[in-house]
Each structure stands twice: as C-alpha cells, then as structure tokens.
Amino acid sequence: MKLYELMLKGSKMGPQVFGTWSDGGNGTCAMGAIMLGCGLMQYNEWYQSLSVVRSQFPELSVPTTCPVEGCFRAHHGMNLMDVIMHLNDFHTWSRQRIAEWLCGSKITAPKGTKKVAVGA
C-alpha cells in the first residue's frame, strides 16, 4: 500500500487530532493514521512504530516543501514527514485532504495550493 492509502485506512479508525500523535484513545494526527493503517501503532509504541514506517517508506525523508502558497515554512528544510505533520497541525488539513495531496489529486485542494511531486 502507498502512504496515502494507509492514511485513509487509518483515518477510518478514529477522529483527527492536532498537535499530538494521539489523544490517548482512537484519535490520531495524519502520521498517526499512517501508522494505524500499517497495523503497527499502539499508544505506548509511537516511536517504535514510527521507526518501522520510516524504514518501509524512505520517501518520508525526502526534502519536500509545503504545498500551501505563501506559507512561511514552505522552504525551511522540511522532509515529507515534516510536511505531513505541518499540514495536519498548522494548516489543519483533514487527513483525507493530505492523502489527496500525497496521491497528486487536487479534489478538495483550496485556491492557492500547488501540486508538489512527493513520490507517492
């Protein structure tokens, strides 16, 4: 499965949260949804699960820019994982919208969003 598919799968398991990996229950951020989609994450195993996901998806370390035009962090040395978390926490994009961006779709992308190749 691809990152965006895992995010969509994990998103079905609980509500979205912002500023944290998990709410301690079923709620997760966008990266947490990817880990849930992989079937890896338990609340007390965040960093172990993240390590596994990063090894399975090396593209998470690829330098990537924020797709939101005019974003002050657009060119501040972020990798794909940073941008996923940034879109979740700073721009409060839904996990569905982040998944659409990852797969190259602009179905719900607002005006001012540019397509960025991320190797999805």
pLDDT tens per residue across span 24-74: 778 999 998 998 888 876 555 666 777 888 888 999 999 988 999 888 776
* Mean pLDDT within 72-87: 86
Query: What predicted TM-score, i.e. pTM, was given to this entire model?
Result: 0.80
**Mean pLDDT computed over every residue of the chain:** 81
pLDDT for res 40: 75
Query: Above 80 in pLDDT, residue 76?
Result: no
SS3 state of residue 22? strand
Q: Please tell me the predicted confidence (pLDDT) of residue 119.
A: 42
Best CA proximity match to 8, nearest among 89, 118, 97, 86: 97
Return all residues near 9 (Cβ < 8 A) that are at least 6 apart: 1, 33, 36, 37
